[in-house]
Structure 1
Amino acid sequence: MATETSTTTANTISPAVPTTPSGLQQAKLFRIYNHYRLVVSLILVALLFVDPVNFDVQFRMLDYYQAGVSAYLGLNAFIALLLVAGFHPGQRHITLSILLDILIMHGLLLTSTGITNGLANLVIVSVAAGNILTPSRMGTFYAALAAISSLGISGWAVLALGESADDIVRAGSLGILYFAAAFVLQNISRRMMRSEALATSRARSIAELEQINQQIIQRMRTGILVLDCFGQIRLANAAAEELLYGAPKAAAPIHEFTTVLPKPLKQGLEAWLKDPTRRIEPFQPSPTSPLLQANFTQLDQERGDQILVFIEDMSKVTQQAQQMKLASLGRLTAGIAHEIRNPLGAISHAAQLMEEAPNLEPGDRQMLGIIRRHSRRVNGIIENVLDLSRRRAANADLIELEPWLKEFREDFLQTQDQDCTSSNIILKNDSDDLPPARFDKSQIEQVMVNLCDNGLRYSKQQTGERHIELHAGATADGERAYVDVRDFGPGIAPENRNSVFEPFFTTDKSGTGLGLYLARELCEANQAHLSLVDDDQPGCCFRITFAHPGRMI
């Protein structure tokens, strides 16, 4: 797959390979070349102050040569000042400069000692620079112009000055070097530009892929952490911050992060470092957080100095387990309804018939009351199990929480018995801008009814008044809503706080122990989280934290 991708990329780029370097690169190369010309012209001017006799040479036209060298220095100095001032040369400026270089160098050869002068070697540099800056047909023209100029100077020297014909051979050799330099450098330059274009295209593709990956990581419900060998967080995505700390610190997909690890996760990391094959137990960063599962792996297998951590919300796993659980309960309920409810109905009916007996002893009546009471309790357990197994899938809607709570309060109070007309439910709202919540209204209403019934009953036991508070608010990140149901009852003993959501656990002799368990199951089905808030207030406070309305699984 990687080979096919590379081939496709290369094929896509090949027809559009540039014939010249990019504008910025071309300007940079021309600036370097002009520095070279400036240094050469300075050296040539400096040599004018040395007596030519010392070099054992005889200039043909010394005055013209001196004027040419001085003009060449002035031209290069002027161009250097333009470049320093911020002038950006175009293609025509570069072409004109190369042509002038070739012609000026041959003019200096003509006025000095001819083609045998060492300046002829500098023409090769000019031709090479022209083919690097413009690796096209214009580069071949530079070589042709230089070869023709060299042959012209040699031919004029042979015909007009009677010099040796060896100069023509030397000029021909130089011409071959010009064309060889042109062809070689054109080929090298094209390959370099092709490689650069390919590298640029791949860099652009990598940057686009990186942006896509960051967007994917940002929207993932799986939290991702990068830790150093000391357990300090180096990088974290928004999901990790939300799951571990309740609020992402920035909108960037993945960024530097300095908060320390929560204690349960740090303990799991230490255990994993001691035994990498060990899988840590699910944990909760805080009492109101959902149950999380962390998986560790070495990010750099060779050095092993960074650790990649995946934080997964167990809601999805819980939903899958619920599906399997409900399937099993569905098969079990038929047997429960037939094998238990029918005999239970017969027992209850027989107890009623015995109560109608005229000569029933008080002790017998007490025993019959126990039978009726426990029969109702068993029937309540069966009803709860049947409701749990018959539960339909959540049909979530986007709900504005504040008006929904007001409507729920009114409906709930209207359904209370005449003996419960004194029930008092107070609504509180700490946020003027509550985020919407996405849930199934009928299922969350069932949870709220269960919590409110419990709260009113326990408040009555403790204070003599049926009184609870409903408190709506937003999480620290302002993106998720929650509802607190607070009663004023006796509270829950610390040793029982971790067991209140277990099935069949109850401290009420008349309870079934399935109410809170069913409430949490319904919340998990809606990707909400039901938790017991640990605070210093009287009574109990149960919190329903709803999922982010835009990031439902």
Structure 2
Amino acid sequence: MAVHQPSPALATANPGSDQQQVKLFRIYNHYRLVVSLILLALLFVDPVNFDSRFRFLDYYQAGVAGYLGLNAFIALIILAGFQPSRRHITLSILLDILVMHWLLLTSTGITNGLANLVIVSVAAGNILTPSRMGVFYAALAAICSLGISGWAVLALGHSGDDIVRAGSLGILYFAAAFLLQSISRRMRSSEALASSRAQSIAELEQINRQIIQRMRTGILVLDRHGQIRLANAAAEELLFGAHAHQPSQPDAQRTLPQVLKLGLETWLNDPNRRIEPFQPFPTSPVLQANFTRLDQERGDHILVFIEDISKVTQQAQQMKLASLGRLTAGIAHEIRNPLGAISHAAQLMEESPSLDKADHQMLDIIRRHSRRVNTIVENVLDLSRRRAANADLIDLGDWLKQFRADFLQTQDDADTTFIDLVVDADTPPARFDQSQVEQVMVNLCDNGLRYSFLRTGERRIRVHAGATVDGERAYVDVQDFGPGIAEEHHGSVFEPFFTTDKGGTGLGLYLARELCESNQAHLSLVKDGQPGCCFRITFAHPGRLI
């Protein structure tokens, strides 16, 4: 297989500098083309006196014609797309110096005005190839000038003034070389510094972009009309996540949720007023928006910080429950000892033959409430010693099938327990701790089966896994067919110790949401208009998990 080698034209350390060098060479070649055309035109101005003023007219004319042809050829190949390399430029400068001295030699010598054009060629060489070659150009030009002058003195009998003039021109060649070398070094140093700073700024910008994208706080940039100019990943997830109807839609064409738009209008009317927490959609967490102007003078853009205050609320509740857990741990034996004595005494009393029906009912109450107190103590203790999540990337469909099989095996009436499992084909993978999410699913399934049986007499629930509308995150719905939850209790179902079941502790759903949050998932109550309750676990984007 043939390997394509890169063109040597630009095979240097700084491609930007090479492109600039090529542009300068094109300009210089245009200058050479114009000079060669002028020299050719001068041949037709006063052809009668050329024989008396020129030493070798035929050679001079041939030199002018050849110089014009060379420059025209270079111009054509550059126009065709040829990219000259450093060695091509060096060769062109050397030819320029030699051709100019050939014209000096064949014309009137070093006193000819063409000698001034040699200075231009030396200067151009030091600009186009700013290296030691620039000094070589000056040395070559000086040697050629002195050689022509020496030959004229020795062979043609000219005065020594030509040598003095050649020496003066040599000094000018070296002065131009050293001056332009110094300027070129400073320019290269400035260019390198500017390039380094530009690269640092680009790297810093990239780092800032990555930091902003990975921040858990949502950041929006709005124009004065409330149109979104920029949104980071957290803002997309918090505001649009499962409801982004057009995932590929650019930020500038996104529209703010209506509740946030109203909050923006309120803030614009009164910047000192704090916006109330809101939920863009029923399944989204409770959010808090803070507004500030990005440009205090012009005020063209507005910066919005979106924070999930449910996390703050849950952290506060965690702190309270952690304190309660530590307190419970300290007095657990003080509670359990008398609780054990009460349970043991109830068992002994139950063995008495003289108990009537009312006494047995009282003993049943004692046993049930003793178990409930013990369960409450255990749940609060679990809150204080809950471990951190150890998340893995999971195929949700396979995991749910295995969970259903394992869950049914733990049911005493597995033959009459039905879990209808539906997994959409486009369900993306999710990243979570399997044991913790399994605990959440067990809680939701137990509740769903129990409430479905109360209403329909059948232990049946429906589990549905799918993708959010943006297609990037997975969710799991657990739908029961029970009596549902009253509208006034929807905001309280996840609060600790809230329950509508007289036998419940009120910690099950709270613990489930806590476990979901530790896996960066969100547990919510979905209002889908169907009978019963539908609880949804919306998992985080598997690639954005921090």
Instruction: Give the shorter-chain TM-score range.
Output: 0.7 to 0.9
Give yes or no for the alignment of 1:505 onto 2:480: no
Give yes or no for the alignment of 1:170 onto 2:162: no
Q: Is the 8 A contact 1:344 1:375 kept in 2?
A: no
Mapped partners of 1:407, 1:203: distance in 2: 54
Q: Is the 8 A contact 2:247 2:470 kept in 1?
A: no
Output aligned runs, 1:281-430, within 5 Å.
281-300=276-295, 303-313=298-308, 317=312, 320-321=315-316, 323-333=318-328, 337=332, 376=368, 380=372, 383-384=375-376, 386-391=378-383, 392-396=386-390, 398=392, 399-413=394-408, 415-416=410-411, 422-430=416-424
Instruction: Say if 1:68 and 1:431 are closer, same or farther in 2 by CA, change over 3 A.
Output: closer
Give unpaired runs (5+ residues) of structure 1: 1-16
Kindly tell me the number of residue pairs found equivalent between the two proteins.
529
Instruction: Say if 1:408 and 1:60 are closer, same or farther in 2 by CA, change over 3 A.
Output: closer
Greater shift, 156-165 or 476-485, is seen at 156-165
Give yes or no for the alignment of 1:44 onto 2:36: no
Instruction: Say if 1:268 and 1:377 are closer, same or farther in 2 by CA, change over 3 A.
Output: farther
Q: Is the 8 A contact 1:38 1:76 kept in 2?
A: yes
Cα-to-partner distance string for 1:492-521 (whole Å, 9 max, x where unaligned): 333332222223434445555443333323
Residue of structure 2 in register with 1:6 after alignment:
none
AA partner of residue 194 (structure 1): S
Q: Is the 8 A contact 1:238 1:251 kept in 2?
A: no
* DSSP 3-state at the match of 1:101: helix
Residue of structure 1 in register with 2:537 after alignment:
544
Question: TM-score by structure 1 length?
Answer: 0.78
Measured after TM superposition, the shift of residue 414 of structure 1 is: 5.1
Greater shift, 182-191 or 338-347, is seen at 338-347
Mapped partners of 1:50, 1:195: distance in 2: 48
Cα-to-partner distance string for 1:96-122 (whole Å, 9 max, x where unaligned): 322332232233334444434332221
Instruction: Say if 1:552 and 1:46 are closer, same or farther in 2 by CA, change over 3 A.
Output: closer
Instruction: Say if 1:511 and 1:326 are closer, same or farther in 2 by CA, change over 3 A.
Output: closer
Percent identity, please. Answer: 74
Residue of structure 1 in register with 2:445 after alignment:
452
AA partner of residue 133 (structure 2): M
Mapped partners of 1:497, 1:106: distance in 2: 97
Measured after TM superposition, the shift of residue 341 of structure 1 is: 7.2
Mapped partners of 2:23, 2:423: distance in 1: 65
Measured after TM superposition, the shift of residue 23 of structure 1 is: 4.2
Measured after TM superposition, the shift of residue 75 of structure 1 is: 2.3
Give yes or no for the alignment of 1:515 onto 2:540: no
Measured after TM superposition, the shift of residue 134 of structure 1 is: 2.4
Greater shift, 240-249 or 116-125, is seen at 240-249
Equivalent of 1:431 in 414, 425, 430 = 425
Mapped partners of 1:195, 1:251: distance in 2: 45
Instruction: Say if 1:515 and 1:242 are closer, same or farther in 2 by CA, change over 3 A.
Output: same
Mapped partners of 2:507, 2:88: distance in 1: 87
Q: Is the 8 A contact 2:239 2:280 kept in 1?
A: yes
* DSSP 3-state at the match of 1:261: coil
Q: Is the 8 A contact 2:427 2:466 kept in 1?
A: no
* DSSP 3-state at the match of 1:460: helix
Residue of structure 2 in register with 1:137 after alignment:
132
Q: Is the 8 A contact 1:318 1:524 kept in 2?
A: no
Q: Is the 8 A contact 1:431 1:474 kept in 2?
A: no
Q: Is the 8 A contact 1:336 1:382 kept in 2?
A: no
Measured after TM superposition, the shift of residue 541 of structure 1 is: 0.8
Output aligned runs, 1:57-72, within 5 Å.
58-72=53-67
Mapped partners of 2:13, 2:161: distance in 1: 42
Equivalent of 2:455 in 438, 454, 462 = 462
AA partner of residue 380 (structure 1): R
Mapped partners of 1:315, 1:300: distance in 2: 30
Measured after TM superposition, the shift of residue 484 of structure 1 is: 1.6
Measured after TM superposition, the shift of residue 127 of structure 1 is: 0.9
Q: Is the 8 A contact 2:328 2:380 kept in 1?
A: no
Residue of structure 2 in register with 1:245 after alignment:
240
Give unpaired runs (5+ residues) of structure 2: 1-11
Measured after TM superposition, the shift of residue 387 of structure 1 is: 0.9
Output aligned runs, 1:3-22, within 5 Å.
22=17
Mapped partners of 1:132, 1:504: distance in 2: 82
